[in-house]
Amino acid sequence: MPLEYKYLLYNHSKSINEAKYNNIDYVFDIKNPYATLTNAAHKTCYFVFSLHVISNLISLFQTICLMILSYGSIPKHLSFIMDGNRRFAKSINQPLKKGHELGSLTLLQILFFAKTIGVNHLSVYAFSIENFNRSKNEVDILMALLVEKLSELSQKCTNSTVADNIIFKGIQIKIVGDLSYLNDNMNQKIKEIESLTALKEKSLDVFTLYICCPYTSRNEIYHAVKKNVNLKLSDNYDYEISENSLENQMFLSHYTNNCELIIRTSGARRYSDYLMWQTHMNSSFIFSKTLWPDYGFHHFFIDLFKWGFYQSLCIWKKTNISRKQLSKWSIKNEFLAKKESCVSYFLSNTTVNRMVHPTLRVSRIFIKRNFKKSIDDLPKPPPAISITQRN
């Protein structure tokens, strides 16, 4: 048969939604009606999606959609900044730990999606070095959760008696980062997990999950610099320091050197010290406004679909078009431009200038341009507060 029907009929929706349903407690709080309502809504949603028939239909639909997507362009290395677990927990009136647990379930789902569409490397920002600033209790909870979930996942990947083994088969887990921050116990467990899931045969099409745990990008660059200095000193004159040699000493670079697509959830538009070296040249960013536990199938599908669309346009532009076609297309494009301008005619520069002109005049009536005023005579600006240097 052309399809592995087990794959197609695998019901990923049921187990995850059930787990999510069991993780949330319904809390009635009259003081906080909004959170109570969202809590109830989430709980009912998870319940409905974990019903037998509905979950089967949904997972079949989702799998087919992902298969369609896999025929387009797919990033080799996809990366997630999983932000918003605690905000989500707060919004549904639950303790913070539940937020992290729901987040880990979402990651499990994303893992399946990414594997299905054919991503080779999936990396996630699980724990930053800065996160050690949090309360010790929370750090301990996070670490324990991480180890628990990872050992669970490694069982799924290797043990063929577990039910989910059909889809999680052949996933490699790597923990990336400055492991000296962790205690020996953690390090040992991490090593076990890594060696358990490592594939013996080397092939190009493997799926690897990178958990960036105590990781910051500055730390990574610094380590690369230090290692290069060490190598230079030990190798005397043979070792040459260059961009490539630095790149080869990055934590992630044992496996992959660049990252095509970064998705950050929860709406903040900044890096927060993640993969800066790998992505500052020509990678795409998607800043999604949903919180991480809410990041479901449709967000994933739309984000990757859009990226694949633009990427394939790029590829076609590079390869497919001979000179003859190019001239043909450019002629067509002029025609197209005219057609498109029908809509945007009213928005063209000249029209806007005509429209803006009166406002310019009006504004000049109200605020007279006083050339005698120098820069010092202007009203005081708001205080310049730096968000980067304060921290």
- Beta bridge partners, 215, equal 128
Q: In 234-329, where do the E strands start and end?
A: 261-264, 284-287
| Pairing mode, strands 261-264 and 171-176 | unpaired
Least distance CB 322 / other proteins (angstroms): 13
Does residue 95 interact with other proteins by CB under 8 A?
no
Name which of 123, 146, 76, 113 is nearest 264 in CA terms: 123
**Scanning residues 309 to 348, which ones bind other proteins (CB under 8 A)?**
309-314, 316-317, 320-321, 326, 329-330, 332-333, 335-336, 339-340, 343-344, 347
Question: Of the candidates 35, 45, 67, 147, which one interacts with other proteins according to CB under 8 A?
Answer: 67
Minimal CA–CA distance to 124: which of 297, 247, 249, 295?
295
> Which H or E run contains 342?
helix 323-344
What is the C-alpha separation between 111 and 72, in angstroms, rounded? 19
Q: Which of 140, 229, 254, 289 binds other proteins (CB under 8 A)?
A: 229
Residue 365 engages other proteins in binding (rule: CB under 8 A): no
- If one asks whether residue 191 binds other proteins (CB under 8 A), the answer comes out as no
> Contacts with other proteins in 6-35 (CB under 8 A)?
7-8
d(C-alpha 227, C-alpha 246), whole Å: 9
> By CB under 8 A, is residue 144 in contact with other proteins?
no
Q: Does residue 281 belong to the site contacting other proteins (CB under 8 A)?
A: yes
d(CA 296, CA 86): 17
What Cα–Cα distance (Å) separates residue 140 from each residue in 21, 96, 143, 147, 178?
25, 13, 5, 11, 17
Residue from 205, 238, 323, 365 in contact with other proteins (CB under 8 A): 205
Instruction: Using DSSP, state whether 33 is helix, strand or coil.
Output: helix
Nearer CB in complex with other proteins: 30/203: 203
Give the range of 18-26, 61-69, 145-153, 289-297 binding other proteins by CB under 8 A. Answer: 61-69
Question: Which of 25, 26, 226, 345 is in the footprint of other proteins by CB under 8 A?
Answer: 226
Q: Find out whether 112 and 301 touch, Cβ atoms under 8 Å.
A: no
Q: Is 374 in the site for other proteins (CB under 8 A)?
A: yes
Question: Contact with other proteins (CB under 8 A): which of 24, 107, 119, 209?
Answer: 119
Per rule CB under 8 A, count of chain residues that contact other proteins = 115
Least distance from C-beta 102 to other proteins, angstroms?
A: 20
Of the candidate spans 14-22, 95-103, 125-133, 153-161, the one that interacts with other proteins by CB under 8 A turns out to be 125-133
Distance CA 208, CA 121 (A): 5
**Nearest C-alpha neighbor of 23 from the set 85, 67, 84:** 85
Residue 119, classed as helix, strand or coil, is coil
Least separation in angstroms between CB 203 and other proteins: 8
Q: Write out the binding residues for other proteins, residues 248-267 only, by CB under 8 A.
A: none
